A and B are shown apart, each in its own frame.
Chain A
Amino acid sequence: MTPAIALVLLGLVDAAFSGFRAYAGTDARIRKQRFNARAAVRGLAVGAVLLLAPVLTAVLLLMTARDQGRTYDRLTAGGFGYLLPLTVYATAVLLSLAAYFALPFRASTLATVVGLGPLTLLRPLALAAACLGAVLNGGGGSALLVGTIAGAAVLCVEPAVHRRWYRHVQ
């Protein structure tokens, strides 16, 4: 069993949200569901490209390793260690989102103020925790390298989408 698929899916979902955030606050129209969706797709596309970096790094590490089996095992262990904090974070985000959309406006404010707002700021911290998890779970330097590149990739999606499509939008 490999954590790679779950990690890539998580990265792509995060990229879609990053695309939305890159667009949010640049358009004062009222009806903008279509534009929100487009921004999410743009985030997804940019994220898909950027996430090739950790994938290629992992492949390169495997191809150049003297003991491929051991390297694969270490990357797998590191991947699971990386996944755990991110799963906790993603669960908190999804619960906040569900509360935001399902509950009346007062409670949805709570979901935003306590959940969605602070959680956005905590993304780098969640990724740092994921890197730590990768090391602590036996991933070693190779898992830390892949994890760091993956973290940098997902953190770059929002600024990249904003700069490419929304910087001069009023």
Chain B
Amino acid sequence: MPLLEISDLITAVEPRSAHRLPVRRADVIRQLRESGDERAARLVAELPVDQDGVLDPHAVDRLLISVHTELQRLNEELRIGHRLVHLLGPLFTAIRSTAGQQGPYRLVDVGCGLGYAIRWLAATNALGADVELVGVDLDAALVGEADRLARAEDLDCRFVHGNAFDLPEAATVYISTGVLHHFRGPALAEFFQAQAASPALAFCHFDIAATRLAPIGARIFHRARMRNPLGRHDGVVSALRAHSDETLLRAAAVPGIRPLLYEPRGAVNPFCTTLRPIIGVRPHLEAPLRSALGRDARRIVGPEQLAEAGRR
């Protein structure tokens, strides 16, 4: 039975236009019951609806902002910002060393939610002044809140409601945190293909490492750190839905992109790596990236090294 996250079901948007669509509570409950998740169905049953049984969009928005705020706390505690900079710093060093022209470069966070990664990068100026920081999400409420938060702290970044691959200006690097497991089946490869087809030079998508510890770790951690039952539920389901290293490398192997995985399973302590990224670079960037990473380059594997490690 497929594992479903409540937050994926209670909002719906038209992917190209990002126009919000009505969601009937009964449909969501039915989907959750069919997937065998009675507890999630009970949580959704408590959400308010209008006279037609359509979920109240304002209540859903408030709920999702609240859950994402709690989720940010987890990201803060797990130092996701530092993890991002650890790779994005060398990646931009590689880009600067090979680019024909000076910046500005553009970093686009796909499915940015409340934009924690972008706002943290802006607050710390960790990537330098020549990197423009943009967060994009299909959820208008989350993007609106991200924008409000950025303005409240006078941060040099911006947020766009829409499709990250339809921006008027091209991205230099695409990133995301905790988004990949939402793409199932062919949608995962399509996600990487869209980036390969764009002028972007690289991508770096962090998601939950699919280890045996991840589900129990998520259960403990979300119980300890989140109050909202929806957040706790989806946090555990996210860990269960996390893609394996092999799946990510296979999906990211698209023409024009060299797929690389940082900190693959089995090569690192699973207690130290809760999230790890799949990286994709234009082939000419691999060598300068490895060089910029220094000793940490040994943590990067391509599909061939992963296959070899699997045979050993």
Query: Which residues of A pack against B, CB within 8 Å?
Result: 24-31, 105-110, 112-114, 116-118, 120-121, 162, 170
Q: Which residues B253-272 have CB closer than 8 A to chain A?
A: 269, 271-272
Q: Which residues B129-181 have CB closer than 8 A to chain A?
A: 145, 149, 152-153, 155
The distance from the CB of A67 to the nearest CB of chain B, in whole angstroms, is 44
For the complex, what is the distance from the CA of A170 to the CA of B61, rounded to whole Å?
12
For the complex, what is the distance from the CA of A129 to the CA of B296, rounded to whole Å?
44
Q: Closest A-chain residue to B223, C-beta based?
A: A121
Question: A105 contacts B86, CB within 8 Å?
Answer: yes
List residues of chain A with CB within 8 A of the CB of B152: 29
Question: B66 contacts A110, CB within 8 Å?
Answer: no
Interface status of B308 (Cβ within 8 A of chain A): no
Q: Closest B-chain residue to A170, C-beta based?
A: B65
Q: Closest A-chain residue to B155, C-beta based?
A: A30
For the complex, what is the distance from the CA of A105 to the CA of B83, rounded to whole Å?
7
Contact of A26 among B69, B217, B220 (CB under 8 A): B69
Question: B66 contacts A170, CB within 8 Å?
Answer: yes
List residues of chain B with CB within 8 A of the CB of A116: 77
With contact pairs A112-B78, A117-B224 given, residues A25 and B273 touching in the complex (Cβ less than 8 Å): no
Number of chain B interface residues as a range: 35 or more
Question: B272 contacts A110, CB within 8 Å?
Answer: yes
For the complex, what is the distance from the CA of A106 to the CA of B153, rounded to whole Å?
28
Stretch of B113-121, B185-193, B242-250, B287-295 lying at the A interface: B113-121
Interface status of B93 (Cβ within 8 A of chain A): no
List residues of chain A with CB within 8 A of the CB of B68: 28
List residues of chain A with CB within 8 A of the CB of B114: 28
With contact pairs A108-B79, A109-B79 given, residues A117 and B272 touching in the complex (Cβ less than 8 Å): no
The distance from the CB of A116 to the nearest CB of chain B, in whole angstroms, is 8
The distance from the CB of B300 to the nearest CB of chain A, in whole angstroms, is 15
Question: B221 contacts A109, CB within 8 Å?
Answer: no
User: Can you name 18 A-B residue pairings with CB atoms under 8 Å?
Assistant: A25-B73, A25-B225, A28-B69, A28-B72, A28-B149, A29-B149, A30-B119, A31-B123, A31-B153, A107-B272, A109-B78, A109-B79, A109-B273, A110-B272, A113-B271, A116-B77, A120-B225, A170-B65
